[in-house]
Amino acid sequence: MKTHFYIIDDDELFLKLGKMYLEMGTCTSSVTLFNYATEALKAIENMEEFLDQRYVVFLDLNMPILNGFGFLEALEKKPILLQKNIQIYVLTSSINHDDIERIKQYKSVTEYLNKPMTREMVQHVCAS
């Protein structure tokens, strides 16, 4: 299925890297980068829906202002957003057990992935 990718990360380098890998993906339709989780939240509220297209969000956890957990809280408070064809992958450098456990509480999260992004990761997401 044609996929629109959103990457939310405060680190410019990971945004750039993610874009490079995703543009190599077989399912990629577009890649949008967000420095701030707050901006991504707005974009999700306003995004257009297509029957034959989906959205995949790569979400970093440790970010200033609104971190990954805060983003998920805000998202899950608006069930209407979750009805959209959207999948969320947490993509973080955290190998902290507490973070992994905490993420399991959020039903909106499809999978917990560790940085950095790889070609295999993109293939895996495209295939699922």
Partner 1 sequence: MQTLKKLFPFYLRLDKDLNIIEYGRSMGKLLHENGSFKDHFKFIRPNFGITHSFASIAEFLDQFFILELFHHPKKVRFKGQFIIHHEHEDELWFCGSPWLMSVEDLQQHDLFVTDFAQHDSAIDTLLMLNQNLLNLQDNSKMIADLKQKNERLQQVNERLDAIVYAITHDFRAPLLASIGLLQLPESMVLEELPEILHTLKRLDRTIIHLNELSKNEKIALKFSTINWEELIRESYHNYSVIYGIKIPIHLSINETTPFHSDTFRIRTIVNNLISNAIKYARPVLEETSFIKISIHTDPSSCIFTIEDNGEGIDEKNLENIFKLFYRASIKSQGNGIGLYIIKEMVQYLKGTVTVKSVKNEGTTFTLKFPNQKLE
The one among 2, 20, 82, 105 contacting partner 1 by CB under 8 A: 20
CA–CA dist 65, 13 (Å, integer):
19
Cβ closer to partner 1: 94 or 123?
94
Q: Does 96 interact with partner 1 (rule: CB under 8 A)?
A: yes
Q: Does 112 interact with partner 1 (rule: CB under 8 A)?
A: no
Q: Which residues pair with 3 in a beta bridge?
A: 28, 54
CA–CA dist 76, 115 (Å, integer):
24
Q: Does 26 interact with partner 1 (rule: CB under 8 A)?
A: no
CB-side exposure of 29: number of CA atoms within 13 Å? 10
Q: Does 62 interact with partner 1 (rule: CB under 8 A)?
A: yes
The one among 1, 82, 84, 116 contacting partner 1 by CB under 8 A: 116
CA–CA dist 111, 90 (Å, integer):
6
Contact region with partner 1 (CB under 8 A), list: 46-54, 67-75, 77-85, 112-120 = 112-120
CA–CA dist 111, 88 (Å, integer):
7
CA–CA dist 13, 127 (Å, integer):
26
User: In the complex, what is the shortest distance from the CB of residue 51 to partner 1, in angstroms, rounded to a whole number?
Assistant: 34
Applying CB under 8 A, the residues found at the interface with partner 1 are 10-11, 13-14, 16-17, 20-21, 24, 35-36, 62-65, 93-96, 115-119
